[in-house]
Structure 1
Amino acid sequence: MSDQAKNERAPEDIEATEAKAAGERAEGSVGDDYEALVRLLKENEELKDKTLRAAADMENLRRRAARDVQDARAYAIANFARDMLSVSDNLRRGLDAVSDEARAAGGQALNSLIEGVEITERAMLSALERHGVKKLAPEGEKFDPNFHQAMFEVPNPDVPDQTVVQVVQPGYSIGERVLRPAMVGVSKGGPKAAAEKPAEPGPVNRQAEKDA
């Protein structure tokens, strides 16, 4: 098209061409802005996910550290407590070795000595208990291999099977851990422990059945 033809174009044609060009530029700009917005939203979601993961990791680390500190406090004396239990056992063996006849014939001096040993034993066990050490004396309870060590079986048809019927040596725990399992004798030949009763069904919703 010659310059003269261009100059001879109607003003409305020129305006329409310019409007079309402006519209095309606007569409291109909107498309670019939309793509940039989508990219920014995606980056924002990724950053949010990373932030949440980092916060969760920090919370898990905090809980783990708190649990480690709690365990260190609770179980720091475990080895010491175990050694003290050996001392307590020896005190008890010494007391048990003195017969009733010997106590009766021993006089005031022997009885005072025995009483002092008994007080020492009780004080030692009380001190351990204040630091979280608990005595396990499970006579009459169901045998639990996590806390008890079976030494022998006692045939008894009148007692539920696997029930602790005799404690040879008491056990001890600290926190949720076993310092020393209780040495026990368990029953054999009695009835099995009753199975747990199944849960009864709840009330039936009649209206819901009708609606169904």
Structure 2
Amino acid sequence: MSDENAASGETPEVEIPVEETADNVEQIDPIEALRAENSELKDRVLRTVAEMENLRKRTERDVNDTRSYAIAGFARDMLSATDALSRALMVLPAEARENGDATTKSLIEGIEMTEREMQRLLAKHGVTPIDAKGQKFDPHKHQAMFEVPDPSQPEGTVVQVVQAGFAIGDRILRPAMVGVAKGGPSHASSEETVDKSA
């Protein structure tokens, strides 16, 4: 001890060397640490690339859907106008077409040409009529308005179309309003296959 420390009454600080052992200090291999970090970063990059690819595909699908179905509202409105022209032609008596004066015949031809042009323009933009007559009733494409007792047709067959239906791509713009056969051959065969003993 030095004389100064003894005179002041303080105890001197003494450093005790501590042995470093495996218990009190973990040895981390720098190469393994870098490999683990590299693996984690590689996994992040792969996940990010996969997410970006999924986003690209989803965006491409949305753009195609928008391109295909953007005119759906407009097409529905145009169908109403086309229906009005069709109804106007249906109510015209046959003798007005044959025996009418030149002005009446020109008017009828003009309505027919306008209706055909509207149908052509709708088809040009992907709006197609739904083929209903003679088909099996499909609630996704048809709207049943009434049943028709017709034993010559299988039950559930569309026998009359009241209003044509239209689709744009694979989506239904307007279902076809139809009359459906009731009591045909499939009706009789379904009664025979029912187990009435239960």
Aligned identity (percent) is 57
Give distance in 1, aligned partners of 2:37 and 2:155: 65
- Choose the corresponding residue for 2:161, options 145, 167, 174: 167
Give distance in 2, aligned partners of 1:112 and 1:123: 16
Give distance in 1, aligned partners of 2:183 and 2:36: 69
Q: Name the structure 2 match of 1:132.
A: 126
Give distance in 2, aligned partners of 1:38 and 1:189: 79
Give distance in 1, aligned partners of 2:46 and 2:165: 46
Give distance in 2, aligned partners of 1:105 and 1:192: 48
Q: Name the structure 2 match of 1:110.
A: 104
Are 1:172 and 1:180, in contact at CA under 8 Å, matched by a contact in 2?
Answer: yes
Alignment of 1:1-212 (within 5 A): 35-192=29-186
- Per-residue CA deviation, residues 5-45 of structure 1 (Å, 9 max, x unaligned), is xxxxxxxxxxxxxxxxxxxxxxxxxxx68x44444333333
Are 1:137 and 1:167, in contact at CA under 8 Å, matched by a contact in 2?
Answer: no
Give distance in 2, aligned partners of 1:70 and 1:154: 41
Give distance in 1, aligned partners of 2:40 and 2:181: 63
Give distance in 2, aligned partners of 1:154 and 1:38: 80
Are 1:173 and 1:180, in contact at CA under 8 Å, matched by a contact in 2?
Answer: yes
RMSD: 2.2
Q: Name the structure 1 match of 2:6.
A: none
- Per-residue CA deviation, residues 146-174 of structure 1 (Å, 9 max, x unaligned), is 11111111122332221111111101111
Give distance in 2, aligned partners of 1:140 and 1:182: 13
Once the two structures are overlaid, the 10-residue window that deviates more, 153-162 or 166-175, is 153-162
Structure 1 outlier segments of 4+, above 6 Å: none
Give distance in 2, aligned partners of 1:40 and 1:160: 74
Give distance in 2, aligned partners of 1:187 and 1:38: 76
Give distance in 1, aligned partners of 2:40 and 2:59: 28
Name the structure with the higher helix share: 1
Structure 1 130/41 Cα, relative in aligned 2: closer, same or farther at 3 Å? same
**Could you tell me the TM-score, scaled by structure 1's length?**
0.70
Give distance in 2, aligned partners of 1:69 and 1:60: 14
Aligned residues: 163
- Per-residue CA deviation, residues 176-198 of structure 1 (Å, 9 max, x unaligned), is 2111111111112223399xxxx
Are 1:164 and 1:187, in contact at CA under 8 Å, matched by a contact in 2?
Answer: yes
Structure 1 155/38 Cα, relative in aligned 2: closer, same or farther at 3 Å? farther
Q: Name the structure 2 match of 1:17.
A: none
**Could you tell me the TM-score, scaled by structure 2's length?**
0.74
Give distance in 2, aligned partners of 1:42 and 1:146: 55
Once the two structures are overlaid, the 10-residue window that deviates more, 96-105 or 39-48, is 39-48
Matched to 1:78, the amino acid is A
